[in-house]
Amino acid sequence: MEKTFVMLKPGVLQRRIAGEVLNRFERKGLRIAALKMLRMSREMVEAHYAEHRGRDFYEKLVEYTLSGPVIAMVMEGEEAITVVRHLTGPTNLLDAPAGTIRGDYAARTRLNIVHASDSPASAEREIALFFRPEEFCPWEDGNRDWF
Ligand code: CMP
């Protein structure tokens, strides 16, 4: 099973939509392998968005990411990186169709409420930046007769 990193940006908690957004991933059948809420340090934000340093939106992006706690998650599933990117929709606001998370919830590209790894290399790097191995909680699909 492939793992990918997902971050619900500060706007998600601020807008009280954490449950709704998380539901999109769960409803699809992805498994939550690790999850936590944290306030990122500036150093961590700069490391996470290092590839965007120097872009015109960079400072504002850092500022937004520091504006409140984020919810960091590792999602697991078949082809999880691609599946999650399909659920989030494209980065550019004008390209994100209705039905995707960004298409449904984001009115500004910079404030696009969710980040998801775009490749196996970034998934590995981002997961390692946010989670220590002992923060993963393995679990089985037992007790299915409950629902
Ligand atoms: P994310 O997937 O977190 O990765 C980088 C972030 O930079 C992106 O989401 C947006 O929040 C932001 N971003 C990328 N491109 C632009 C842009 N053209 N204008 C403003 N913000 C952008």
Position 102 in a domain: yes
91 lines ligand 1 (CB under 6 A): yes
Question: What total number of domains does the chain contain?
Answer: 1
81: domain CATH number is 3.30.70.141
Query: Distance, CA 49 to ligand 1 centroid (Å)?
Result: 9
β 31-38/114-116 pair status: unpaired
Q: Residue 115 catalytic? A: yes
Whether residue 145 is predicted with pLDDT greater than 80 in this model: the reply is no
Whether residue 146 lies inside any domain: the answer is: no
Domain span at residue 71 reads: 2-134
Q: Are 46 and 84 in contact (CB under 8 A)?
A: no
DSSP string, 25-62: HHHHT-EEEEEEEEPPPHHHHHHHTGGGTTSTTHHHHH
Ligand 1 in reach of 55 Cβ (< 6 A): no
Strands, DSSP E only, in the chain? 2-8, 31-38, 70-77, 114-116
Residue 142 lies in a domain: no
Ligand 1 centroid to residue 87 C-alpha, Å: 17
For residue 58, give the amino acid letter: Y
**Confidence at residue 64, expressed as pLDDT on a 0 to 100 scale:** 97
Is residue 141 assigned to a domain? Answer: no
Asked whether 122 lines ligand 1 (CB < 6 A), one says: no
Closest atom, ligand 1, to C-alpha of 116: 2
Spacing, Cα 101 to ligand 1 middle (Å): 15
* Nearest CA owner, ligand 1 atom 20: 110
Each residue's pLDDT tens digit, 57-97 = 999 999 999 999 999 999 999 999 999 999 999 999 899 99
* pTM greater than 0.75: yes
Which residue is closest in CA terms to ligand 1's atom 6? 110
- Does 145 reside within a domain? no
Instruction: Check if the beta carbon of residue 24 is closer than 8 Å to that of residue 101.
Output: yes
Tens of pLDDT, residue by residue over 107-133, are 888 888 999 999 999 999 999 999 999
Would you state the structure tokens that stand for residue 147, as one six-digit string?
């629902």
Domain presence at residue 130:
yes
